[in-house]
A and B are shown apart, each in its own frame.
Chain A
Amino acid sequence: MVHKKRKLGRDVAVVGAGISKFGVHPREVRTTDLFVEAFTELKASVDKGIQAEDIDAFYLGNLSSDIFEKQIHIAPATANSVGLIPKPAVRFEDACAASGVAFREAIIAIASGIYDIVLVGGTEKMTNLPTPEVTETLAINSDPIIEFPAGFTFPGLYATIATAHMAKYGTTVEDFMRVGIKNHNNGGLNPKAHFNSSIKDIMKRRAASAVEKGLPEPHWADEMEFLHDPGQNAVVAWPMRLFDCSTICDGASCVLLVAQDIAKNFTDAPVSVIGTGQASGYPLSERDDMTSIKASKEAAQEAYEMAGVGPADIKIAEVHDCFTIAEILAMEDLGFFKPGEAVKAIRDGATALDGALPINTDGGLKAKGHPIGASGVGMIVEIFKQLRGEAGPRQVKGKDLSIALTHNVGAHGTTVVVHVFERR
């Protein structure tokens, strides 16, 4: 296949970002309400201000308002909720990569010269449906002829990848748990996170709750012992337990993307997008190697080449940890670590907030939460904050956060979209 190096027709930058509280919102709260919350934060984040009438178009990522909310055609409705009528409003669905893909399409639209200013958002309201129906709504992102009939759920597909990774590289369930512990530590510092708690905080709360109910106080020596306790951390799809899975929750996110040449009208500290890449992948059984997501490698290669950087240049990353195994795959597929060596980096704390390459500083999909459509842009919101030094208690300190990466996966790697950012 001929590999063509691609570049943007016009440079683009993020000049504003906002996110709603992720979590279980009341039944009557709709995605439009969550989006208003995210947009309100975005407006405040644009240093020199933005008026809705200046926005040329609205791109929205959403997996399935159809099933979750019994509402379709939500892009114009969401645009209306923040005063964007009559601007074009388009919805993107690419499973869990919905808003990452919406962001890429907005880049392409601005680079084409059609638009100068695009609002890119993501929303999902998952918690109105009972868990079996949510499980099904996610499972039907898999192949309908061969994967879904075999009984696969989404945790099940990643769990299957996990067993292949364990067999090939000796990865252990404790390695998966370490990813969860790290992401919960970060989530504990993020007030917008669904789980704004470290695993230690959760242990304390559960012990206190047992005492309150008159039960004997449970004791766990450490987080590992807690995570091995089946009463606290049940298996969902072996070897993925509850604390290996991202959370079912509600949320919205948005960023303001503009042509680089007008970015200074909005802020003196824009975050430029220097690379974008996207690839599609086969169902699991048609892949040559199940211990890696090839589409991640392909999307990353396109983004790195466009940006003129490599994995060693990335100072901070938001990767798609829908399951703990997925973060391990991402660390390897994006080239940060060699295949089979990500677990050593996790054991050494290399990806912790104070590590050499902080990953998922906002708690990731694991602790921040995974309201599907909101997740891709949610990652970009975090990078915007980190690169501008505005991440509060979880701000990465003591290093020059010049270049960052986001990695957003749709389903089990059938879509992957990667972006590279630079704070110039």
Chain B
Amino acid sequence: MISMAENEFSSSVHNRFLAEKKLMGAKCKRCGAISLPLRPICPKCNASEMEVVEMNGRGKLVAYTVISVGPPMMIEEGFDREHPYCSGIVELEEGVRIPGRIVGVNVAKPDQIKIGTPVTVEYQERVHGEEKRTFLAFRAV
């Protein structure tokens, strides 16, 4: 039995890697499937032999939205009806998908944001209350 503190695939590990400006996945040693965020058990074949692999941070936008009415976290960051933000799903070159904040797109014309737009990873450092956190973002290139 491994304790959660030693478990390099526990749910907090994703955020710890982001704080180091790294986007890491867990690769199944049996079937080769990559999990994002990292997980101790492969969702494809249920094997528990996983290894940590770094994503190259390049991908394309596969779906998105431009949000005008956000939760308090985003309101604190200055977003509102006049300043909407884009969130989306990115497919990385490694073939896995991950949600992220999307920047470098024209949120004033959401219908013109193109699915398939190439993006690269970016790390947003934000302070919420006492807590400094790093958020995963992707910039349209």
> Which residues does A use to contact B, with CB under 8 Å?
131-133, 135-136, 139, 143, 145-153, 155-157, 159-164, 167, 234-240, 282-286, 290
Let me know if A286 and B97 touch, CB within 8 A.
yes
**What's the nearest-Cβ distance from chain A to residue B135, in Å?**
5
Given contacts A146-B37, A234-B68, A285-B36, contact A151 B110 (CB under 8 A): no
22 A-B pairs with C-beta separation under 8 A: A133-B72, A135-B71, A143-B99, A145-B11, A146-B14, A146-B136, A150-B136, A151-B70, A151-B71, A151-B87, A151-B101, A153-B67, A160-B88, A164-B63, A235-B66, A236-B68, A238-B84, A239-B110, A240-B65, A285-B36, A285-B99, A290-B89
Q: How many A-B residue pairs have CB under 8 A?
A: 121
Counting chain B CB atoms within 10 Å of each CB, the highest count among A143, A236, A285 belongs to: A285
Let me know if A131 and B69 touch, CB within 8 A.
yes
Contacts of B47 in A (CB 8 A): none
Q: Report the bound CA distance from A241 to B87 in whole Å.
A: 16
Q: Report the bound CA distance from A239 to B66 in whole Å.
A: 8
Contacts of A161 in B (CB 8 A): 63
Q: Report the bound CA distance from A163 to B114 in whole Å.
A: 10
Let me know if B101 and A136 touch, CB within 8 A.
no
Q: Report the bound CA distance from A238 to B69 in whole Å.
A: 10
Q: Report the bound CA distance from A336 to B68 in whole Å.
A: 33
The 4 closest A-B pairs by CB, nearest first: A159-B65, A238-B110, A285-B97, A136-B71
A288 and chain B: residue at smallest CB distance: B97
Contacts of A286 in B (CB 8 A): 43, 97
Q: Report the bound CA distance from A281 to B84 in whole Å.
A: 29
Q: Which of B64, B84, B98, B99 contacts A163 (CB 8 A)?
A: B64
Q: Which of B96, B101, B111 contacts A238 (CB 8 A)?
A: B111
Given contacts A160-B63, A286-B97, contact A151 B85 (CB under 8 A): yes
Let me know if A153 and B89 touch, CB within 8 A.
no
Q: Report the bound CA distance from A386 to B129 in whole Å.
A: 52
Contacts of B101 in A (CB 8 A): 150-151
Q: Report the bound CA distance from A150 to B123 in whole Å.
A: 11
Asked if B74 lies at the interface with its beta carbon under 8 angstroms from chain A, I say: yes
Asked if B15 lies at the interface with its beta carbon under 8 angstroms from chain A, I say: yes
Q: Report the bound CA distance from A164 to B64 in whole Å.
A: 8
Q: Report the bound CA distance from A283 to B36 in whole Å.
A: 11
**Further contacts, 14 of them, CB under 8 A, given A136-B73, A148-B71, A155-B65:** A139-B71, A143-B99, A146-B36, A150-B88, A151-B74, A157-B65, A159-B65, A159-B67, A234-B68, A234-B81, A235-B66, A235-B68, A238-B67, A284-B97
Q: Which of A135, A163, A234 contacts B63 (CB 8 A)?
A: A163
Contacts of B73 in A (CB 8 A): 136, 151
Q: Which of B62, B68, B99 contacts A146 (CB 8 A)?
A: B99
Q: Report the bound CA distance from A1 to B110 in whole Å.
A: 41
B65 and chain A: residue at smallest CB distance: A159
Let me know if B63 and A237 touch, CB within 8 A.
no
Let me know if A136 and B72 touch, CB within 8 A.
yes
Contacts of A157 in B (CB 8 A): 65
Q: Report the bound CA distance from A282 to B98 in whole Å.
A: 12
Q: Which of B64, B98, B135 contacts A285 (CB 8 A)?
A: B98
- Tell me which residues from 50 to 69 in chain B have a Cβ below 8 Å from any Cβ of chain A: 62-69
**What's the nearest-Cβ distance from chain B to residue A140, in Å?**
8
Q: Report the bound CA distance from A139 to B75 in whole Å.
A: 14
Let me know if B67 and A284 touch, CB within 8 A.
no
Contacts of B88 in A (CB 8 A): 150, 160
Counting chain A CB atoms within 10 Å of each CB, the highest count among B14, B65, B70 belongs to: B65
Contacts of B127 in A (CB 8 A): none
Let me know if A285 and B70 touch, CB within 8 A.
no
Q: Report the bound CA distance from A64 to B79 in whole Å.
A: 26
Q: Report the bound CA distance from A164 to B97 in whole Å.
A: 14
Q: Report the bound CA distance from A289 to B64 in whole Å.
A: 14
A163 and chain B: residue at smallest CB distance: B63
Asked if B115 lies at the interface with its beta carbon under 8 angstroms from chain A, I say: yes
Given contacts A131-B69, A161-B63, A164-B63, contact A156 B87 (CB under 8 A): yes
**What's the nearest-Cβ distance from chain B to residue A280, in Å?**
12
Q: Report the bound CA distance from A394 to B101 in whole Å.
A: 44
Contacts of B11 in A (CB 8 A): 145
Let me know if B89 and A237 touch, CB within 8 A.
no
Q: Report the bound CA distance from A136 to B76 in whole Å.
A: 13
Q: Which of B15, B71, B81, B115 contacts A153 (CB 8 A)?
A: B71
Asked if B40 lies at the interface with its beta carbon under 8 angstroms from chain A, I say: no
Q: Report the bound CA distance from A369 to B57 in whole Å.
A: 42
Contacts of A136 in B (CB 8 A): 71-73
